[in-house]
Chain A
Amino acid sequence: MAAQVTTNQSIINDDSGSLTTDSEFQTNVNSKKRLSSSSNILPTSSILSPTGLTSLISFIVLTCAYISGFMSRLFSVIRFESIIHEFDPWFNYRSTAYMTENGFYNFLNWFDELAWYPLGRIVGGTIYPGLMVTSGVIHWFLHMINIPIHIREICVFLAPFFSGLTALATYLLTKELWSRRAGLFAAAFIAIAPGYSSRSVAGSYDNEGIAIFALMFTYFLWIRSVKTGSVFWSCCTALSYFYMVSAWGGYVFIINLIPVHVFILLVLRRYSLRLYVSYSIFYILGLILSMQIPFVGFQPVRTSEHMLAAGVFALLQAYAFIDYLYTKLPRADDLKQLFFGLMIFIGLSVFAVVVILTYAGYIAPWSGRFYSLWDTNYAKIHIPIIASVSEHQPTTWTSFFFDLHLLICLFPVGAWFCIKELNDERVFIVLYAVFASYFAGVMIRLMLTLTPCVCVLAAIALSKTLDYYADTETSDMSTSPVVPSNDNDENENETEKNNRNLYDKAGKPKPIPGRRGPTNTNQDTDDDTSIVSSNIKTVVVICIAMMLMLLAVHCTWVTSNAYSSPSIVLASYNNDGSRYIIDDFREAYYWLRKNTPERARVMSWWDYGYQIAGMGNRTVLVDNNTWNNSHIALVGKAMSSNESEAYKIMTMLDVDYVLVIFGGMIGYSGDDINKFLWMVRIAEGEHPKDIREQDYFTENGEFRVDRSGSPILLNCLMYKLCYYRFGELQTDFRSPPGFDRTRHVEIGNKNFDLQHVEEAYTTEHWIVRIYKVKKLANRLQAKNALRQVQRRKSIYSTSKKTSGQARKQGVILNKPQVKKGTKVLTRKT
């Protein structure tokens, strides 16, 4: 009896919304018979019942997905060390360390003086605290049970840990959407997909690591609450949404996608009371919860990005009310037109109210970050800082395949299957796919939001395919493709196919309960009339298995080669293949930490601000937060002007040290000279009269640093700081001294002296160069070398002419005067 009940349950959970549910109820009785007849292969149901077996297999597959997701992100930790990567994670790490030392309330109220030198930064109100709080909670919990792990290790390994949880959440979501089998596939895919692991390797301690987990979990809870219409699940959705708001600015995606889903369901006439209950509760609880985060504040009622959710909420209330009245009226049919017209009227009036409020100024228009997703040229013209970030560039075609391999090919197939068998939940995933594809095409960073959707839909496509092809009736366990499996994904695939073989026998609707006859004619799916023999099916299954193996190999290779570099430690390889570590960044920051006064100010480009503050522990002028464009423009102007002008700006900003990154000696291409044009553009945005981008190009419009480069470029501060003393250095006996290995030219301006700065430190491979700003000189050189000294007349001088004559030097008294043409008059003395 109990076995039958549980079989019922699993059937309900599995083929939700599928058309074959009724026939499966009928075949329940038959299934019991069939299960016992399959006991020739398996032991009797007293040891392994089918539902027990499926649960066991699901558990094993999910554990393998978790472990493989965790392991594939550990390449950089194994190759280098457990270190925080990149730029942004350093700030997250520093604030997490601050929180563990000083407590949660001090962290919320923290005012950081080390950043943005004269201005400071209110950290509590300008970050999403979810990441730090998560690490802090894990740290507190582990310390409470006496496992003292340092906060750095927790931060480094947080992202891989959460990637496994993301696999679980994706499994749950796909189980709600399609079936448990597709869910297992989806979990395996998201665990290794490079699109996700690129932002969640060990050491990448950034918001996306936990945000994607929160995203998938929120979507799972939303689908669950739409399906059941339960208040409890809607509350859970709101709580998970709150976690997502605390974790990432991308929560705007959720709060716009869910209202679009509700709206489309209304348009498709799929309104139901479950929808009303779930969306209303989610919206209202989510609204007030999201305003608890200080950074979000009152934005949910004041900005355009959140207005869609409010508008759909109002529309849904009106729709529900009118629908209720509709049920109360006895002759409702002739009022259908009225109803329809009324709804359109209400919809338009809500839209009009929002537009009016926007124009009146009560609602802020779309912010630059999100508007540039719609109008892609906006950022390049108006906000160069947003345009300059490399992650905000448009996506190339190749990066879709690079990040998703086989999955991007299966993705449209899955979307098509969902459209063909549409129900309320599948509308959601199709909408998610459409919008995520658009956003991923606009900005390469948003590939991350596309990846989970692609994994889900590819899993659905693959699951439906294998439902048909893997179901070979006469194939026992022995004819399932047995391939030597080295990696976890293949293992999962194998066990999954076995699972499906068993499963399909249990659940597939069968007109004839006999199992052991010739199978050709009975294997049809609902409308399929073609007869495909089991051999061909096995061949197809083998091909699919090979493609999945290739997928696993590709994903691991991509994660290992492309996405696992810490970028703060570089590695190159010698002729004999041994590895050579280039650790210049940490060398320079540690020098700063040990050899400069504690309150020294360091000026550098904003990329390195977090790292300098984190590792060097010194005050910086601008950092990666980039909240103050004018301040960054000042720094850019200082870097682009010649030395004297720059010195004025540096004294005004109270700078002690200047730090530049120079890659010319080893060929490092991420240095400041390559970023220089962005500095010029940003400076030009604020000071168009002093800095013009055209001045830095040659007449032909090229950007060159050799002799034919523009003289303004060759004399600006950035150039001089990078190439100081570089003209004496000969890196290679074949190239002239001063040969820049990154630009591959010999530099134009060599052997100059610096007037207002002096070199403080240059690292081993000349990557980081630190200069000290000199104080004003004691003696200023005068403008005229010959001075006019005004003297007052001496008191000893008289005005008599003769005495003046007598005191004149070199005058002979009574000198005979010679007049030409006259006789000399001799005076008788």
Chain B
Amino acid sequence: MSQLGQVIGILRKLNDEYQISTPKKLKLIDAYLVYVLLTGIIQFIYCLLVGTFPFNSFLSGFISTVGCFILAASLRIQLNTTNRSTFNVTPERAFADFVFAHIILHLVVINFIG
């Protein structure tokens, strides 16, 4: 029980830390990430329930959610000011790369969805 209490304590500490230290922009991206994750989970559960018949459609939709998640996570990483030393990009450039990658991703997804 004490271990459970410890875990809960750690989680609460994490939550507080998170609320304090992340700027609003990054929280917005985090909310978007949670949304995309939920969409992906829903798609996967649907596939498990209904079956994989148009497999390419399922793959296309699922990879679209995973791709959006990854790209948003990358954007968040690049916009985070604590990571300025490892990356050498301005926020505008990060966003432009984000849009470029999304164009490629969605072109392929639409082609594959069949």
A residues whose Cβ falls under 8 Å from a Cβ of B = 228-232, 234-235, 238-239, 272-274, 276-277, 280-281, 284-285, 287-289, 291-292, 298, 301, 320, 325, 328-330
Are B74 and A231 neighbours in the complex by a CB distance under 8 Å? yes
Are B104 and A298 neighbours in the complex by a CB distance under 8 Å? no
- B73 is an interface residue with CB less than 8 A from chain A: yes
Instruction: Jot down 14 A-B pairs with beta carbons below 8 A, ordered by A.
Output: A273-B87, A277-B78, A280-B70, A284-B66, A288-B67, A288-B109, A292-B111, A292-B112, A298-B55, A298-B56, A298-B59, A301-B59, A328-B18, A328-B21
Q: A230-B87, A235-B104, A328-B21 are known contacts; what are 9 more A-B pairs with Cβ within 8 Å? A: A228-B88, A231-B71, A231-B75, A231-B101, A239-B104, A284-B105, A291-B112, A329-B17, A330-B13
Binding site secondary structure of chain A = helix
Contacts of A329 in B (CB 8 A): 10, 13-14, 17
Contacts of B94 in A (CB 8 A): 231
Are A289 and B73 neighbours in the complex by a CB distance under 8 Å? no
Residue of B nearest to A229 (CB): B87
Q: A231-B74, A235-B101, A280-B74 are in contact. Are A273 and B17 (CB under 8 A)?
A: no
Top 5 closest pairs, chain A to chain B, by CB? A231-B97, A277-B74, A280-B70, A232-B97, A288-B63
Contacts of B47 in A (CB 8 A): none
Of the candidates A273, A285, A288, the one whose C-beta lies within 8 Å of that of B101 is: A285
Contacts of B89 in A (CB 8 A): 230
Q: Given the complex of chains A and B, what is the CA–CA distance between A329 and B7 in angstroms?
A: 13
Query: How does the 8 Å CB contact mask read for B62-88 relative to A, with 1 for contact and 0 for none?
Result: 010011001101110110000100111
Contacts of B70 in A (CB 8 A): 280-281, 284
Q: How far is the CB of B111 from chain A (nearest CB, A)?
A: 6
Contacts of A272 in B (CB 8 A): 86
Residue of A nearest to B22 (CB): A328
Q: Given the complex of chains A and B, what is the CA–CA distance between A292 and B89 in angstroms?
A: 32
Q: Given the complex of chains A and B, what is the CA–CA distance between A716 and B86 in angstroms?
A: 73
Contacts of B74 in A (CB 8 A): 231, 276-277, 280-281
Are A273 and B86 neighbours in the complex by a CB distance under 8 Å? yes
Are A285 and B112 neighbours in the complex by a CB distance under 8 Å? no
Q: Given the complex of chains A and B, what is the CA–CA distance between A342 and B109 in angstroms?
A: 34
Contacts of A234 in B (CB 8 A): 101
Are B100 and A235 neighbours in the complex by a CB distance under 8 Å? yes
- B60 is an interface residue with CB less than 8 A from chain A: yes
Contacts of A231 in B (CB 8 A): 71, 74-75, 78, 94, 97-98, 100-101
Q: Given the complex of chains A and B, what is the CA–CA distance between A288 and B114 in angstroms?
A: 13
Binding site secondary structure of chain B = helix
Q: How far is the CB of B60 from chain A (nearest CB, A)?
A: 7
Residue of A nearest to B104 (CB): A235
Q: Given the complex of chains A and B, what is the CA–CA distance between A232 and B87 in angstroms?
A: 13
Are A328 and B104 neighbours in the complex by a CB distance under 8 Å? no
Contacts of B105 in A (CB 8 A): 284-285, 288
- B108 is an interface residue with CB less than 8 A from chain A: yes
Q: How far is the CB of B90 from chain A (nearest CB, A)?
A: 12
Q: Given the complex of chains A and B, what is the CA–CA distance between A762 and B86 in angstroms?
A: 72
Are B104 and A238 neighbours in the complex by a CB distance under 8 Å? yes
Q: Given the complex of chains A and B, what is the CA–CA distance between A601 and B49 in angstroms?
A: 51
Q: How far is the CB of A592 from chain B (nearest CB, A)?
A: 42
Contacts of B112 in A (CB 8 A): 288, 291-292
Contacts of A291 in B (CB 8 A): 56, 59, 112
Q: How far is the CB of A109 from chain B (nearest CB, A)?
A: 15
Q: A230-B97, A274-B86 are in contact. Are A281 and B108 (CB under 8 A)?
A: no
Residue of A nearest to B87 (CB): A229
Q: A276-B77, A292-B108, A330-B13 are in contact. Are A287 and B63 (CB under 8 A)?
A: yes
Contacts of A289 in B (CB 8 A): 108
Q: Given the complex of chains A and B, what is the CA–CA distance between A749 and B104 in angstroms?
A: 68
Contacts of B101 in A (CB 8 A): 231-232, 234-235, 281, 285
Of the candidates A239, A273, A298, the one whose C-beta lies within 8 Å of that of B83 is: A273
Contacts of B21 in A (CB 8 A): 328
Residue of B nearest to A272 (CB): B86
Contacts of B104 in A (CB 8 A): 235, 238-239, 285
Residue of B nearest to A301 (CB): B59
Contacts of A238 in B (CB 8 A): 104
Q: A274-B86, A277-B78, A328-B21 are in contact. Are A285 and B67 (CB under 8 A)?
A: yes
Are A273 and B13 neighbours in the complex by a CB distance under 8 Å? no
Residue of A nearest to B99 (CB): A231
Q: Given the complex of chains A and B, what is the CA–CA distance between A328 and B88 in angstroms?
A: 23
Q: How far is the CB of B17 from chain A (nearest CB, A)?
A: 5
Of the candidates B17, B66, B78, the one whose C-beta lies within 8 Å of that of A330 is: B17
Contacts of A228 in B (CB 8 A): 87-88
Contacts of A273 in B (CB 8 A): 77, 83, 86-87
Contacts of A298 in B (CB 8 A): 55-56, 59
Q: Given the complex of chains A and B, what is the CA–CA distance between A284 and B101 in angstroms?
A: 11
Q: Given the complex of chains A and B, what is the CA–CA distance between A726 and B21 in angstroms?
A: 92
Q: Given the complex of chains A and B, what is the CA–CA distance between A238 and B21 in angstroms?
A: 34
Are A288 and B60 neighbours in the complex by a CB distance under 8 Å? yes
Contacts of B98 in A (CB 8 A): 231
Are A284 and B17 neighbours in the complex by a CB distance under 8 Å? no
